[in-house]
C-alpha cells in the first residue's frame, strides 16, 4: 500500500491530500514547497508558528500551530520528520485510521522520481554543495528543481519545483539509512566517515548504504578523491574524481583565500580550464565547488557559465555566515557539528588572520559526543579560547557522564594552549563569551542546535562596542567590553552583567564617550568601586562607565588636594597624611572612590564629603566639561541631586595643617572603630539611612534581626545595619532580606526604613 501511495507523488495530475507532521523544520518545509509545486493539497503542523510556516501558508499550506488529530482528517498520506516518534497525537491518529505514514526521505525520493535526480550525499558539506550545484546548473540554463537543508538566499528558498527542467538536485540524508530509497541519475559523494553511530554498527554498515545508492545510480558518481573511503566505495567506470591532485578528473590550485571569497585555477584531467572566484571562503568550499563543477561540466554547462555562477554564489544560512564584520571584531556562525566539519571551518577562520579565534560550540547528540570525543578534542586545535555548552539532544535521551564537559576534557588532554570554559546555557554562554571578546578577535559559533542565537545577540551589540573602542583609541586609550559581571565591581560582590562596560583614561575620552552614548540614547551609569551599590541579578541595560588612569591621580597643592573621580578615599587619606594635611582621616577604611563619595555625599566619623569640597569638575549633560565651586552645588545628607545626570571627573578638597602624631592618632582611631564595629565580610556598608529615632543598626539589633538570612545574604552579627554576602548571594536574596527588615521595623516600631544603598539594574537578564 505504501509503495502504491508513494507512486502517486510522481503524478501531479492526481493531486493528494498530504499532511506533514513537523512542517517547520528545514527539511520538512522544503518538502512542503515541492508538494505544493506538484499541485497537492498540503497541510502541516508544528509546535509554534514561525516565519517559515507563515511563508508556506501564503503559498497554500493549511497550518496547525500544534500537533493534533484533526490535521490528518481525510488525508491520503501523512509524512513525518525524524523528530516525530510514535506517541505523537497526529502520528497516532493517522495510524489508527490506517492512513499511510511515510518518512520524509521516502517521500522526497518519490518526488525526485519525477525528474533526473542528482543526490548529494556524505557526512558533511551536503547543504553547501547541493546549493552550489543547483545554482551552477540554473546559471547554465538547465532549470533544475532543488531541495537543500537550509535557507539559501541566492536560490530564493530551500526547495523549488521547476516544471520545465529535467534535473532535480537534492541533499540526501544518510543518518538513518533512508538514502537507499533514492534511484538518481547522478550522485555526488563528498565523504564517508564514522558518523550516526547510534544507528549504524560501524563504518562497514555506512559503506553498504552508499554502495547501494550508487548501484541504483544510472549516470555519474562524482566523488572526492581526497577521502579514502569515498574513493574506495566509488571506484568504477561511472566514477568522476575531484581533489587537489592533477591526476584526478577535476582538480584545483588555490590562488587566494579572502574573508569573503576564494580564487583558484580549475583543471580537467590536468588541463587548465580557467580561473574561478567562489563567493564564499574556505579550502573545504573550494573542494565542494569542484564537485559542482564536475557534475555541471558532465551535464553540458559551459565553463563561462560556471565561472559566473561561482562568483555570484553567497552560500547557505549558517554555513560560515558572517554575522558581524567590523574594524575590531568579526562574528561568524556555522552549522558544523562533526569533527571534520569543525576542523575545516576553523581552518577557514584561521585564514582570516584574526588576532585570536574565540569559539562557542554546542555539541549535537549525546551519542556523537561520546563516540567521537577524541576527534572533537583534536578538531579545536586552532582555537585560542573555547566555550562549550550543554549537549543539544535532538531526539536523544541523555547518556550518563556525557556532557559538554566531555569535549572540554579531551581538548585539555590534547593541547595546553587553548583556554577552555563550560557555559551550559545559552544565556551563560552569551554573557561569558561576549565578555571574553577583545579587539582583534574573531568569534565563531558552531553547532546544529540553537547556538546561533548567541552569535546573533552578540553581533547585535557589537556596533556600539565598535564605536566605543574607536572613541577610546582616538582619545588616549581605554577599555570597552560587553557583558561585564558587576559582581567584579561592587564591594557586595553581587550583580549581573553591564551591557557595555567602559573604562576611559582621561577627561577627553570620558566626555566623548558620554556625547556618543547620549546621541545614541543609551542609558549611562558611572560607578567607582561600587561600595554603596546593589546591582540586580539581571544586570544593567546600557553603559556603565568606570573612570581609570588619570582619574586615579591625587595631587597636593598647599592645604588642598586635587583628586580624580577614580581615586580611592584611602589613597586620598594616605596622601594627605604624607603632606601633613589633617581632616581626611575619616576616609580611612571606606572602600570607595571620590566620584561615588561626591555623588552620595558619603561620610563617617561625624564628617561628610562636602565638608571638604572646594570645587567639583564634571561632565555636563551635553558632554561639555565644567567646574562649580561648593557654593553653587546643592547637597544633602547622602544625596547630591546636582550629579544625578552629570558625571564627576575630579574635585578640589581642602584640609588644614596638622601634626603628624595627631593625624596618625585619628587614622588609628578611625581604623580601630571600623574594625571593631563593622564586619569583615563582603558588604555595601550601611544598608539603611539612620532614622530620626535612633541609629539603624541599633534598631535592627533591638528587633533581634542579627543573624537573619535569606539564602547567602545575612544580617551581620557585628553591626545590624550591614548585610553580608556569605558567598554567592544574589541581589534577589538581599532585597528579600531588606523587605523583611523593613516590614518588621514598620510593624513593631512604626519606623519606615529607607535604604542608603543605591539599587540599580534589571530583575531579569537581557534576553537573547
In the residue annotation, 645 being an active-site residue is answered as: no
Q: Is residue 341 a contact partner of residue 469, using CB atoms and an 8 Å limit?
A: no
* CA dihedral of residues 304, 308, 311, 315 (deg, nearest 10): -120
Q: How far apart are CA 384 and CA 547, in angstroms?
A: 30
φ and ψ at residue 42, rounded to 5 degrees: -120, 135
Chain-centre distance of CA 438, in angstroms? Answer: 15
Catalytic residue among 171, 341, 385, 512: 171
The answer to whether the CB of 242 falls within 8 A of the CB of 220 is no
168 pairs with which residues across the strands?
A: 117, 145
* Cα–Cα distance for residue pair 17/37, rounded to 1 Å: 14
All three cell numbers of 644: 544625578
C-alpha span between 99 and 91 (Å, rounded) = 10
Q: Which of 136, 133, 131 is nearest to 148 (CA)?
A: 131
Q: How many Cα atoms within 13 Å fall on the side-chain side of residue 434?
A: 30
Which residue shows C-alpha cell 528543481? Answer: 145
Kind of pairing between the strands at 385-388 and 356-361: parallel
Q: Count CB-CB contacts under 10 A for residue 521.
A: 7
Catalytic residue among 52, 106, 123, 126: 126
127, 178, 348, 406: the active-site residue: 127
Degrees (nearest 5) of the Cα angle 544, 482, 346? Answer: 170
Nearest alpha-carbon partner for 479 in 428, 541, 574, 545: 545
577: region left, alpha or beta (phi > 0 left; psi from -120 to 50 alpha): alpha
Is 490 part of the annotated catalytic residue set?
A: no
Could you please report the per-residue DSSP string of 99-168? --EEEHHHHHHHHHTTSEEEEEESSS-HHHHHHHHHHHHHHTT---EEE-SS--GGGSSSEE--SS-SEE
Q: Which residues are catalytic?
A: 126-127, 171
Amino acid at each position: 500500500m505504501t509503495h502504491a501511495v508513494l507512486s502517486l507523488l510522481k503524478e501531479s495530475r492526481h493531486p493528494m491530500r498530504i499532511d506533514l507532521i513537523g512542517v517547520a523544520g528545514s527539511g520538512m518545509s522544503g518538502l512542503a514547497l515541492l508538494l505544493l509545486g506538484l499541485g497537492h493539497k498540503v497541510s502541516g503542523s508544528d509546535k509554534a508558528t514561525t516565519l517559515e510556516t507563515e511563508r508556506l501558508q501564503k503559498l497554500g499550506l493549511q497550518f496547525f500551530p500544534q500537533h493534533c488529530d484533526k490535521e490528518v482528517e481525510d488525508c491520503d498520506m501523512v509524512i513525518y520528520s525524524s523528530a516525530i516518534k510514535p506517541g505523537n497525537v497526529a502520528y497516532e491518529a493517522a495510524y489508527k485510521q490506517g492512513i499511510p505514514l511515510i518518512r520524509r526521505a521516502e517521500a522526497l525520493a518519490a518526488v525526485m522520481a519525477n525528474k533526473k535526480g542528482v543526490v548529494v550525499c556524505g557526512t558533511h558539506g551536503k547543504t553547501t554543495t547541493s546549493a552550489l550545484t543547483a545554482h551552477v546548473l540554473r546559471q547554465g540554463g538547465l532549470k533544475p528543481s532543488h531541495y537543500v537543508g537550509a535557507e539559501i538566499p541566492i536560490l530564493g528558498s530551500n526547495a523549488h519545483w521547476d516544471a520545465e527542467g529535467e534535473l532535480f538536485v537534492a541533499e540526501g540524508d544518510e543518518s538513518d539509512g533512508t538514502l537507499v530509497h533514492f534511484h538518481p541519475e547522478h550522485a555526488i559523494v563528498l565523504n564517508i566517515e564514522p558518523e550516526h553511530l547510534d544507528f549504524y554498527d560501524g563504518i562497514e554498515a555506512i559503506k553498504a548504504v552508499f554502495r547501494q545508492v550508487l548501484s541504483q545510480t544510472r549516470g555519474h558518481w562524482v566523488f572526492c578523491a581526497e577521502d579514502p573511503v569515498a574513493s574506495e566505495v566509488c571506484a568504477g567506470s561511472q566514477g568522476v574524481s575531484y581533489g587537489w591532485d592533477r591526476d584526478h578528473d577535476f582538480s584545483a590550485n588555490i590562488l587566494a583565500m579572502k574573508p569573503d571569497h576564494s580564487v583558484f585555477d580549475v583543471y580537467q584531467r590536468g588541463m587548465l580550464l580557467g580561473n574561478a572566484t567562489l563567493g564564499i571562503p574556505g579550502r573545504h568550499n573550494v573542494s565542494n565547488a569542484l564537485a559542482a563543477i564536475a557534475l555541471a561540466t558532465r551535464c553540458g554547462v559551459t565553463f563561462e557559465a560556471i565561472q559566473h555562477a561561482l562568483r555570484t554564489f553567497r552560500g547557505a544560512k549558517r554555513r560560515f555566515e558572517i554575522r558581524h564584520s567590523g574594524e575590531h571584531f568579526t562574528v561568524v556562525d556555522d552549522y558544523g557539528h562533526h569533527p571534520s566539519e569543525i576542523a575545516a571551518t576553523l581552518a577557514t577562520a584561521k585564514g582570516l588572520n584574526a588576532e585570536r579565534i574565540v569559539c562557542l560550540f554546542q555539541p549535537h547528540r549525546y551519542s556523537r559526543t561520546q563516540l567521537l570525543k577524541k576527534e572533537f578534542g583534536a578538531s579545536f586545535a586552532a582555537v585560542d579560547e573555547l566555550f562549550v555548552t550543554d549537549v543539544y539532544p535532538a531526539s536523544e535521551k541523555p547518556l550518563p557522564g556525557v556532557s559538554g564537559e566531555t569535549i572540554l576534557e579531551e581538548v585539555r588532554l590534547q593541547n595546553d594552549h587553548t583556554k577552555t570554559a563550560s557555559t551550559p546555557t545559552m544565556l551563560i554562554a552569551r554573557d561569558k563569551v561576549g565578555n571574553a571578546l577583545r579587539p582583534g578577535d574573531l568569534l565563531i559559533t558552531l553547532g546544529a542546535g540553537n547556538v546561533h542565537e548567541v552569535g546573533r545577540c552578540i553581533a547585535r551589540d557589537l556596533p556600539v562596542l565598535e564605536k566605543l573602542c574607536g572613541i577610546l583609541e582616538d582619545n588616549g586609550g581605554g577599555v570597552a567590553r560587553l557583558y561585564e559581571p558587576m559582581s567584579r565591581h561592587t564591594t557586595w560582590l553581587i550583580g549581573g552583567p553591564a551591557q557595555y562596560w567602559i573604562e576611559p583614561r582621561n577627561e577627553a575620552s570620558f566626555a566623548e564617550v558620554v556625547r556618543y552614548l547620549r546621541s545614541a540614547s543609551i542609558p549611562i551609569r558611572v560607578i567607582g568601586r561600587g561600595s554603596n551599590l546593589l546591582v540586580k541579578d539581571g544586570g544593567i541595560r546600557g553603559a556603565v562607565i568606570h573612570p581609570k588612569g588619570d582619574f586615579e591621580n591625587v595631587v597636593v597643592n598647599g592645604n588642598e588636594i586635587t583628586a580624580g573621580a577614580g581615586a580611592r578615599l584611602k589613597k586620598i587619606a594616605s596622601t594627605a597624611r604624607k603632606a601633613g594635611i589633617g581632616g581626611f582621616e575619616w576616609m580611612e577604611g571606606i572602600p570607595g572612590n571620590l566620584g561615588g563619595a561626591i555623588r552620595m555625599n558619603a561620610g563617617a566619623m561625624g564628617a561628610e564629603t562636602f565638608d571638604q569640597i572646594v570645587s567639583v569638575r564634571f561632565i555636563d549633560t551635553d558632554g561639555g566639561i565644567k567646574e562649580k565651586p561648593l557654593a553653587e552645588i546643592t547637597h544633602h545628607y547622602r544625596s547630591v541631586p546636582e550629579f544625578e545626570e552629570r558625571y564627576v571627573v575630579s574635585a578640589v578638597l581642602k584640609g588644614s595643617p596638622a601634626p603628624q602624631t595627631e593625624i596618625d592618632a585619628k587614622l588609628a582611631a578611625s581604623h580601630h572603630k571600623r574594625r571593631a564595629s563593622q564586619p569583615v565580610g563582603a558588604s555595601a556598608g550601611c544598608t539603611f539611612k539612620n532614622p530620626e529615632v535612633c541609629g539603624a543598626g541599633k534598631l535592627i539589633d533591638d528587633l533581634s534581626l542579627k543573624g537573619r538570612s535569606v539564602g547567602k545574604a545575612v544580617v551581620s552579627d557585628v553591626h545590624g545595619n550591614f548585610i553580608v554576602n556569605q558567598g554567592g548571594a544574589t541581589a534577589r536574596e538581599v532585597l528579600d532580606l531588606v523587605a523583611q527588615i523593613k516590614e518588621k521595623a514598620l510593624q513593631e516600631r512604626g519606623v519606615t526604613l529607607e535604604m542608603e544603598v543605591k539599587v540599580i539594574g534589571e530583575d531579569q537578564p537581557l534576553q537573547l
